[in-house]
Structure 1
Amino acid sequence: MDQTFSVIPLAGVPFPRAEYERRQQEVLGVVAGAGLDALLVTALGHARYLTGYYGGGSYFGPFPLILAPGHAPTYIVREYEVESVRAYSCINEIVSYTQERDFAKVCGDVLRRYGLENKRIGLELRCWNLTPSDVYKLEAELPEMTVVDATELVGSVAAVKSELELDAMRNAMAMTEVAVRSFQETLRNGVTESETWAAMQGAVKKTGGEELRLVSLVFGERTKLAHGLPSDHAINSNEPAVTEIGGVKFGYAAGLVRTAVVGRHPEAETLLALSNEALDTAIDVIKPGVTAEEVDATVRKVIERSGRPRAFRNKAGYQTGINWSERGNMDMVPGVKDVLKAGMTLHMPIMLFGEKGHIIGCSDHILVTERGAESLSGAPRTLYRV
């Protein structure tokens, strides 16, 4: 399998060149369908999906990947990062600029060379890694260019996973489940969040895991934090604990939310039961052809029937993949009419607010199949009690 495009040791990309070429061609298809002449991909997750490059150097300036029919995919990057981009991506055509102030001129020169200076160009305007200043300078460089918001185009292709991607997701989930077991086994009266987090990381490393990504790990009163990071706060008797974590393989993260209690905590137990009921109801309706807003609506109906309409203040779920998720990818929220397709992966965290502010819930990571929803996880969603 031809996976490496650089002679630098331990560099390269995780998938064969043909996989990246397939993705690029599918994106070019939706670019043409949107009436665009080219697309500048700037969102880190979308660029990584199309090239393999993890995007570390783009912190200091935009690194657009130019996709245009009839031209090789072209990366515009800082000169300092050229060798890293070459080593960690499948892109051969790399054009560099020296400092951030040079970006618009260099990018504009490439677009002119490709005959695109007066064409309709898609930019990911609602994603990270592209500032209003970047757009204004590029428009000043190419005043006849028409900029179109193309935020959702790459995500619409990346939503449906290949078998190679699904293998990565399943491997990532295996690491997530190792971390969940460690979370549960470590809990006891007096243990701190930091101690539990260290145990979770250690367990994943011991089993050969690539990375464990943390979204939240909180105990007791700190479960009122939506995305709380571990501290030296200890859990006491009759307090809840909540974690949202995900193992990672080749950049693909498989997240899960799990709740536990040391002793008893009636409100946490009630909220978790409601979270599970809403999640089960949503999973039952998931199949190809159902819209994102329909899945979200099933969750909201269960919450409303419970008499706790203000308990649910989030979304029913979202599309997952590289970088866990990416701004501009599909969310399951009211008004989103995107249709579910076989091969999509969805993280569905149903997090509920209690009357005292505790945020309690659980999640499942779903693969959409022709037969309906298939969970990527075998870890029970029920309350873990110490």
Structure 2
Amino acid sequence: MNEMSSAVPLTGVPFPAAEYQRRQQNVLDATAAAGLDALLVTALGHARYLTGYYGGGTYFAPFPLILAPGRAPTYVVREYELETVRAFSCIRKLVPYTQEREFAKVCAGVLRQYGLQNKRIGLELRCWNLAPSDVYGLEAELPGLTIIDATELVGSVAAVKSELELEAMRSAIAMTEVAVRTFRNTLRQGGTEIEMASAMQAAVRSAGGEELKVVSLVFGERTRLAHGLPTDHPIHFNEPAVTEIGGMKFGYAAGLVRTAVVGRHREVDSLLSLSNEALDTAIDMIRPGVAAEEVDATVRRVIERSGRPQAFRNKAGYQTGVHWSERGNLDIVPGVKEVLQAGMTLHMPIMLFGESGHIIGCSDHLVVTERGAKSLASTPRTLYRVDGN
């Protein structure tokens, strides 16, 4: 607990005030560089990065964080959530609205008070938590307002992690690896996905972890599902198991994909070998100054040379941090010319489709350093085999 903690027990923000002030100033600098007079942040991950608030009440309507030069950061929030936002954020200027239909009027009132009613305002138009009706409502209240898409602005700042953030990522990956070891040690013929998920969650709790995010956990024929949540489906002899899981720390997520097989499965062997080859090749070229599209192209060349170009139907990786991922953050895909910088963290899941439809692969979670990419994880990416007994 630090100097910004609430008087409410067991609340507060995870980082010191200076860390949030640094982030906010960097975003304000980027806002000015983009030719904008102010920024309204609505994406959950971006708002949490700048305030500490986890966003539990924002399903109701947007909670925009207004950043403008010379003004205190201002959070427009639902009145019902006022004390929760105060308790879990570093923002002291809170402006409430009561009903959803009041959002545009109240938010417009703040912009008008700050002299921004005829200015260029950035909005995260391609992120979650902002509906077209919210934008139309602001435009109706402030017809002189010029709204600019600033979806990628906060993500570009948040991509480079401070040492405090990297510490959180290391704590998160430690819990991911607790779950990975449990996945390998408890997989057995006849065991179900639900049983496995419960075992991994219990292991993380026992190790003192905050949370385990299970993005996917599928056995056998259900490995045809890209993001399959665990069910009572059991694993049988000569079948694969694939999981994508991530430990959490202060909202920072560190995911890994791992594959195992009970018995033998020739196609799984082949696909995972190719996944590892493509991932190793990508890791070898990751360093500051390399464009995201170059890393993606490297992965695709390896897969094309294998004679199975249609096996890869995903992105090569993406920026990580607060929340698992956020629209507007850096993706390692074709056409993205943004360059990698030291301090970025990346999840690189190379997932491949087999001829039978199984989706098999592995991943690494990396931090970009001045010398290249360094894995945050220590557990091997190779196929884990369980005999059928």
Please list, as runs of the form range in 1=range in 2, the aligned pairs for 1:105-184 lying within 5 A after superposition: 105-184=105-184
In 1, Cα distance between equivalents of 2:181 and 2:150: 41
In 1, Cα distance between equivalents of 2:105 and 2:6: 29
Q: Are the equivalent residues in 2 in contact too, given 1:3–1:15 (CA < 8 A)? A: no
Alignment partner, residue 97 of structure 1: 97
Identical columns (%)? 78
In 1, Cα distance between equivalents of 2:253 and 2:5: 24
In 2, Cα distance between equivalents of 1:2 and 1:182: 34
Q: Structure 2: any 5+ residue segments left out of the alignment?
A: none
Alignment partner, residue 83 of structure 1: 83
Please list, as runs of the form range in 1=range in 2, the aligned pairs for 1:334-353 lying within 5 A after superposition: 334-353=334-353
- 1:5 Cα deviation from its structure 2 partner: 2.9
In 2, Cα distance between equivalents of 1:301 and 1:101: 51
Please list, as runs of the form range in 1=range in 2, the aligned pairs for 1:352-367 lying within 5 A after superposition: 352-367=352-367
Query: What amino acid sits opposite 2:74 in the alignment?
Result: T
Q: How large is the Cα RMSD of the aligned pairs?
A: 0.6
In 2, Cα distance between equivalents of 1:4 and 1:104: 29
Q: Are the equivalent residues in 2 in contact too, given 1:4–1:11 (CA < 8 A)? A: no
Alignment partner, residue 20 of structure 2: 20
Q: Deviations over 1:88-140 (max 9, x none)?
A: 00000000000110000000000000000000000000000000000000000
Secondary structure of the 1:60 match is: coil
Query: What amino acid sits opposite 1:240 in the alignment?
Result: P
In 1, Cα distance between equivalents of 2:352 and 2:50: 36
In 2, Cα distance between equivalents of 1:261 and 1:197: 17
Alignment partner, residue 234 of structure 1: 234
Secondary structure of the 1:366 match is: strand
Q: Structure 1: any 5+ residue segments left out of the alignment?
A: none
Q: Are the equivalent residues in 2 in contact too, given 1:347–1:364 (CA < 8 A)? A: yes
Q: Deviations over 1:277-308 (max 9, x none)?
A: 00000000000000000000000000000000
Alignment partner, residue 68 of structure 1: 68
Alignment partner, residue 286 of structure 1: 286
Alignment partner, residue 311 of structure 1: 311
Matched residues, number: 386
- 1:3 Cα deviation from its structure 2 partner: 4.4
Q: Are the equivalent residues in 2 in contact too, given 1:3–1:13 (CA < 8 A)? A: no
In 2, Cα distance between equivalents of 1:365 and 1:334: 20
Secondary structure of the 2:216 match is: strand
Q: Are the equivalent residues in 1 in contact too, given 2:123–2:148 (CA < 8 A)? A: yes
Secondary structure of the 2:58 match is: helix
Q: Quick one: structure 1 residues 269 and 312, their matched pair in 2 at CA, closer, same or farther if it must change by over 3 Å?
A: same
Please list, as runs of the form range in 1=range in 2, the aligned pairs for 1:154-303 lying within 5 A after superposition: 154-303=154-303
In 2, Cα distance between equivalents of 1:62 and 1:3: 28
Query: What amino acid sits opposite 1:353 in the alignment?
Result: F
In 2, Cα distance between equivalents of 1:139 and 1:71: 22
Query: What amino acid sits opposite 2:276 in the alignment?
Result: N
In 2, Cα distance between equivalents of 1:383 and 1:286: 24
Query: What amino acid sits opposite 1:228 in the alignment?
Result: G
In 1, Cα distance between equivalents of 2:2 and 2:334: 43
